[in-house]
Amino acid sequence: MRHAQGRARRAGAALAAVLTWAGLLAGAAGCTSHPSGGGIGEAFGKAPAPEDVIRVVPDDGSKGVRPERKLLVRVPSGRLESVKVVKSQDAQESPVPGRISADGLRWEPKDPRLSLAAKYTVDAIALDGHGRRSARHTTFTTYVPDERFIGYVTPENRSTVGTGMIVSLEFNREIEHRAAVQRAIRVTAKPAVEIRPHWFGKARLDFRPERYWKPGTQVTVSLRLRDVEGARGVYGLQYKTFSFTVGRSQVSVVDAAAHTMQVRRSGALLATVPITAGAPKHTTYNGTMVVMEMLELTRMNGATVGFKKENGKGEYDIPDVPHAMRLTDSGTFLHGNYWAPDAPGHVNVSHGCVGLRDVKGGSSDTPAGWFFDRTLVGDVVQVVHSNDKKVAPDNGLGGWNMGWKEWKAGGAVK
């Protein structure tokens, strides 16, 4: 599912002992219906939609926003509890300073002018006039001059990631001269390993080694795109070098038939956790997925991914899903669940997500909180024994589902 999201902490704390969540019969699926048959949309239908509680300007998903446009977060009633705005530019994140007004109704940035060629992420939590908490996550990108192109790079500069991370560049416009652009991008590693590119269409270029990165690897991404012609009359803007570090190895295997997830560090079993996966009509993808981002609290609305009732409203609309870890662009999450406590370990009830037991508001003492606290962006999650197809290589960071020979054939430079 495609849900609104909020960026959250990335935790990699070492574990001192192997834990087993035996006997915790609780459940989660950010895409679930309650096993008793009552729809989540019914259970949460009276709560206002987060976009009605928290208003963000520019609109979510806006592109080409001019630098003179005003950035504003407000609530018509109640109060803003927290607002976090992050600017991503050339794979480097920086916070956008701002303040909440004394009456709690508005947040505005200290510097009103937006930066060119940047992506802005807004995460806000607020209480409405009835004391109900909502979270909202929005993004927008700012204007890039017509004769220029840029690539938005994943992961972030100086980040520590899991061994499954794939270097991915999303270009702001289609690239016609792919070989020229590919030659201007170099990805290297210490210790050295062969790294190859693969194009998905004309606006995305991913890089990966044949197998997962070794822990401790230092990866450097050099963009020499300035003045490189990507399409007729359109030239690159960036001349930057980024780097990231590969942390410890963690691979989690979700068995949809057994309703369990085995979490392993460096091959050793860390824990076996009860889970709930996709229900028979909404099965979970098989295959290898990578944690793309981590959200302490987010909204999940079925209407955004096609799960609608006859009246057009989502089959579910949960404003405060805790401990959400995105696995695909199409909306598969591994997340906490407090509304289906009897599902994990017993029955699959979600709309395609993988659910772990949690409590409203989230807690580190639950299976979902425990896993969230020990997960890095870039960690691997494998799903087996689900009655569904394998996830597509371009759905999220799914490139590990493509064989090495086919991957190498996807480069523009032969």
Residues with catalytic annotation? 335, 353
* Residue 231 DSSP code: E
CB atoms within 10 A of CB 46: 8
C-beta of residue 162 within 8 angstroms of C-beta of residue 250: yes
> Which amino acid does the sequence have at 404?
W
Specify the DSSP class assigned to residue 390: B
Q: Could you give the CA distance from residue 263 to residue 293 in angstroms, rounded to a whole number?
A: 18
Going from the C-alpha of 152 to that of each of 90, 123, 174, 231, the distances in angstroms are: 7, 20, 13, 17
Strand order in the sheet with 148-149: 148-149, 234-236, 229-231
Residue 2 CB neighbour total at 10 angstroms? 14
Return the ∠ at Cα 324 (arms to 298 and 216), rounded to 5°. Answer: 135
CA distance 410 to 407: 5
Structure tokens at 74: 């407000």
Token digits of residue 402: 């493509």
Q: Which parts of 212-313 fold into alpha helices (H)?
A: none
Describe the chain by its helix, strand, coil percentages, rounded to 5. Answer: 10, 40, 50
Q: How far apart are CA 293 and CA 378, in angstroms?
A: 8
Tokens 């416009």 label which residue? 173
Q: Are 3 and 298 in contact (CB under 8 A)?
A: yes
Name the residue among 200, 217, 249 with its Cα closest to residue 411.
200
Contact in structure between 170 and 152 (CB atoms under 8 Å):
yes
How many other C-beta atoms lie within 10 A of the C-beta of residue 236? 23
The dihedral over CA atoms of 238, 9, 103, 52, expressed in degrees to the nearest 10, equals: 80
Residue 336 to residues 35, 135, 402, 403, Cα–Cα distance (Å)? 16, 15, 29, 32
